[in-house]
Amino acid sequence: MGYTKDIFFMKTAQYTTNSPEKLITYAGVFAHTELRQWRLITCVGPLGAGKTTFIQGLAKGLGIRKDVLSPTFTIINEHKIPQTKKTLVHCDLYRLTKERDLTPLHVFEYLENPNMIVCVEWADRFPQLWKTYPRIALEFSFRNKNERRIKIRYFTGR
């Protein structure tokens, strides 16, 4: 999925769930434990594997009360994190086919801003773009009809 050749790999973890509710709860805890030092989360995996559900759980864990929907058509949605100067930026690259399509969306400006936490669904569309950034790479997969597995990899960037 584009992450195997990245040489600045730190550590790996794995999580398995059998319900969207458990995934949302896990992501909320993840928001408190992992987002203190990480600001980019890349998500890859097939349709329906839990990418958007995970980001909804992150948002909930960060205190965002409004509904967080996949920005498949808008490409990017911003969600202000209450009682902070930070913003959760949710990107969905599913519909993009060319790297130049990212330029008018200001994705790289978001990545350079320390007040932005950026979550990118379908990051494997452009895997080379994320290599220079410290990030948590989430790879979602189906274990069976009811279970989802998330492989979690931490990269320091270059």
User: What pLDDT digit, counting tens, does each position of 27-71 carry?
Assistant: 999 998 888 788 999 999 999 999 999 999 999 999 999 999 989
pLDDT of residue 5: 52
Which one has a higher pLDDT value, 79 or 74?
Answer: 79
Percent of the chain, pLDDT > 90?
68
Which segment of 45-49, 106-110, 115-119 scores lowest on mean pLDDT? Answer: 106-110
Residues contacting 140, CB < 8 A, separation 6+: 43, 44, 45, 46, 49, 50, 51, 54, 148, 149, 150
- Alpha carbon of 105 to those of 84, 85, 109: distances in Å? 24, 21, 9
> What structural domains does the chain harbor?
24-148 (3.40.50.300)
Q: With cut-offs at 50, 70 and 90, classify the pLDDT of residue 1.
A: very low
Nearest C-alpha neighbor of 60 from the set 91, 92, 29, 14: 29
Tell me what the mean pLDDT of segment 15-26 comes to: 95
Which one has a higher pLDDT value, 156 or 2?
Answer: 156
pLDDT of residue 16: 95
Entry pTM: 0.89
d(CA 102, CA 71): 14
Dihedral sign, Cα of residue 11, residue 69, residue 77, residue 80: negative
